[in-house]
Chain A
Amino acid sequence: MTAEKSERSATGEVTVINEQGLHARPAHALMMCASGFQSNVEIVKDGECVDGKSILSLLTLAAARGTRLVIRARGDDAEEAVAALTDLIARGFGEDGGGASDGTK
């Protein structure tokens, strides 16, 4: 599946903020979100690059809290995909709900 015509592409960078990092549930959420776009999605951590639509590949990244991830997408909806994915990660996958602050002293 290589690009035949001039494809749109987009890149974003985001930090993992949820405490548990990219464990099973966030990886599942990330995969579901990426799979909703037609574009190819790649997640890059320290030069290691995996398919954003593969939960197993995402899990092997073992991205802990504080990890910088690069999101790359290629395809007609590349910008939208990158925007949605960076937002999802930046919001901590909606985890740690409850409103109270989580700071450690």
Chain B
Amino acid sequence: MITHYGIPASPGVAIGEALIFDKERIRIPRRFVTRDAVDDEVRRLEQAIDAVAAEIDRNRELVTGQLGAQYGAIFAAHLAMLRDPRLNEEWRRLIREQHYAPEHAVSETLRRYASVFQKLEHRFLAARSEDVLDIERSLLRCLTGQPREELTHIGSPVAVLAHDLTPSETASLDRRFVIGFATESGGAGGHSAIVARALEIPAVVGLGRFLAETGPGDAVIIDGDEGRLIVRPDGPTRAEFERRAESRRTFAASLERFRDLPAETADGTRIEIDANIEFPHEVDACRQRGADGIGLYRTEFLYLGAAREPTEDDHFRAYADVVERMGGRPVVIRTFDLGADKLGRAPGESEERNPFLGLRSIRISLRHVTEFRRQLRAILRAGASGDVRVMFPMIATVPELRRAKAILADACEDLDEAGIPRPPKMPVGMMVEVPSAVVLLDRFLPDVDFVSIGTNDLIQYALAVDRCNREVADLYHDTDPAVLKLIAMTVDAAERHGKPVGLCGQMSANPLCTPLLIGLGLRSLSMPPADIPEIKQICRGTTVERCREVAGRALRMESARQVDHYLREEFQKNRT
């Protein structure tokens, strides 16, 4: 039994057989063919091209079906690249005239294109190098006749283990058979993690090297709660996790009844429970779990994996869809919040030495005013038919907030000039996730209608810990008293100004923290839809008075360890 530690990317426990999706670049030797074999070799290449084209087509249908046309569109470009006449001509020439083996020809040409794209400055073009390498891998797999372990053709439940998964690979995981996945690379905010949470399957990323010592068919446990991968578990360990998985299932079933009950404390205080979503289709999960609204609609999926910059209509459709399906409940749309970790696929863009302190989120939006204004117009348009609120991420200074608002005003003007309807006054909020905003919140509040605390970033900036960095991820604690103090300061300032304040980081989904957050004064929590029933249950089982005591004690402690220990004790007390 070996235990590997990584970053928890999507909660839950999966126990099953390993399917190793090893796409470590296949090394192709320089190989040549004899003159009389040339015709056969060209035919072999043509068959491989046809096979890969069919595969791309299947992926397109699959991804379009699961995640929408925006995602499916990537594959039209893939197909055009595979069928590119220049490329095909060059392959044939290399085989016929230079007597290259097809593998050699494919590898050499595509890697050359990949490196050309990598050098281009344009973000979306640089990302094309991944596409080209994807095509190379597919062709080589066909040509070398390697046993194909197709993610889309899995027939029995498996845990997928890989070095990394591309957007299309993650998106095409078949939910019926893939019980979880674990990857050597990647971070908690990375694309695979986002998709795993949306698909509600457990995942652990950033495990470091483990594939070498893992065999296909090995029994594995993916512990998405604690960020562990256990390979070939011994009997007792397996039994323990099976109990955990089972109790999770019965627990989930027992929570069903909370769906239609409000999150109201035993002494009658109503807590608003909203959902964080990534994709429009998650609205169904929100309604099933009884969310009061959407507290955080991330809009990054429009950019991730897309073959092009989204148009205003792309934005609008994605927003209007959610607004309509939420049937009048509030929807908070957060503007572009791509950061260094999420744009990881675009070389050139991620070469900052300190990406989390670099060009990301609102900073990117304020530099690319045209794109930003386009997104804001779409949000305003969506607001014409429902309760839509706009929220700016990562605001660190008052001038930044004012600039963002000025661009919002310009977007309003654009629509008015064009005679396109918009709400007369859309509520504007900001994320509080940079310590400077907490300290100076009094000065920001007159300019906003609401604030939402983004604990994920607030913690990493307050504690100076990059949670995607395996070396220091263990120093990242949401319960550090310094973090609690920052939350308390934010809530107090907002209350003084009479502005609503919510919390939408991962902390809001942690049942241990719920009493603490209520005690700190929060009355609105936003979390992944899957966590809503349990948090509702916690709210209903406690009182505001009790929560205040918990918060008061925790605030006086000196370390996250102490707070954790205390919260765990409290939790057990309430559960029994």
Interface on A for B, CB 8 Å cutoff? 19-21, 23-28, 31-32, 51, 53-57, 59-60, 62, 64, 95-102, 104-105
Contact = CB atoms under 8 A, between A and B. Distances in A.
A73 to B, nearest CB: 16
A24 B308 contact: yes
A98 B377 contact: yes
Contact of A24 (B307, B369, B378): B307
A25 B87 contact: no
Interface string B290-307: 000000000000000001
A60 B116 CA distance: 7
B26 interface: no
16 contacts: A23-B122, A23-B308, A24-B125, A24-B308, A28-B77, A55-B77, A55-B80, A56-B132, A60-B116, A60-B117, A62-B122, A64-B122, A97-B312, A98-B312, A100-B415, A105-B410
B74 to A, nearest CB: 8
B311 A95 contact: yes
Contacts of B308: 20, 23-26, 95
Nearest to A99: B418
B81 interface: yes
B85 interface: yes
A100 B420 contact: yes
B569 interface: no
A56 B370 CA distance: 27
Contacts of A31: 80
A97 B312 CA distance: 7
A97 B414 contact: no
Q: Which 5 A-B pairs have the closest CB atoms?
A: A98-B312, A54-B86, A25-B308, A24-B307, A100-B414
A56 B374 contact: no
Contacts of A19: 309, 370-371
Interface string B360-402: 0000000001110110011000000000000000000000000
B461 interface: no
B86 A23 contact: no
Contacts, number: 98
B73 interface: yes
Given A23-B309, A105-B410, A62 B121 contact: yes
Nearest to B407: A105
B125 A23 contact: yes
B320 to A, nearest CB: 12
Contacts of B374: 96, 98, 102
Contacts of B137: none
Contact of A102 (B81, B132, B313, B370): B370
B417 interface: yes
B124 interface: yes
A25 B370 contact: no
Given A23-B308, A97-B311, 5 more contacts: A24-B124, A25-B73, A25-B77, A96-B311, A98-B316
B239 interface: no
A96 B377 CA distance: 12
A28 B124 CA distance: 14
B37 interface: no
Interface in B163-208: none
B120 interface: yes
B405 to A, nearest CB: 14
A26 B84 CA distance: 15
A56 B113 contact: yes
Contacts of A99: 418, 420
Contact of B81 (A53, A55, A64): A55
B84 A56 contact: yes
A51 B316 contact: no
B83 to A, nearest CB: 9
A90 B75 CA distance: 26
A100 B86 contact: no
Contact of A53 (B85, B369, B373, B410): B85
B439 interface: no
Nearest to A56: B84
Contacts of B307: 23-25, 28
B130 to A, nearest CB: 12
B84 A101 contact: no
Contact of A57 (B77, B86, B369, B410): B86
A62 B125 contact: yes
Contacts of A21: 122
Contacts of A55: 77, 80-81, 84
B76 interface: yes
B128 interface: yes
B309 A51 contact: no
A59 B373 CA distance: 27
Nearest to A55: B80
Nearest to B122: A62
A26 B418 CA distance: 26
A53 B132 CA distance: 17
Contacts of A23: 122, 124-125, 307-309
A27 B125 CA distance: 11
B85 A51 contact: yes
Nearest to B378: A98
Contacts of B312: 96-98, 100
A31 B81 CA distance: 10
A28 B378 CA distance: 25
Contacts of A98: 311-313, 316, 374, 377-378
Nearest to B419: A99
Contacts of A101: 414, 417-418
A59 B128 contact: yes
A20 B73 CA distance: 17
A63 to B, nearest CB: 9
Interface in B75-126: 76-77, 80-81, 84-87, 113, 116-117, 120-122, 124-125
Nearest to B80: A55
A86 to B, nearest CB: 21
B86 A24 contact: no
B377 A100 contact: yes
Contacts of B313: 97-98
A78 to B, nearest CB: 18
B423 to A, nearest CB: 16
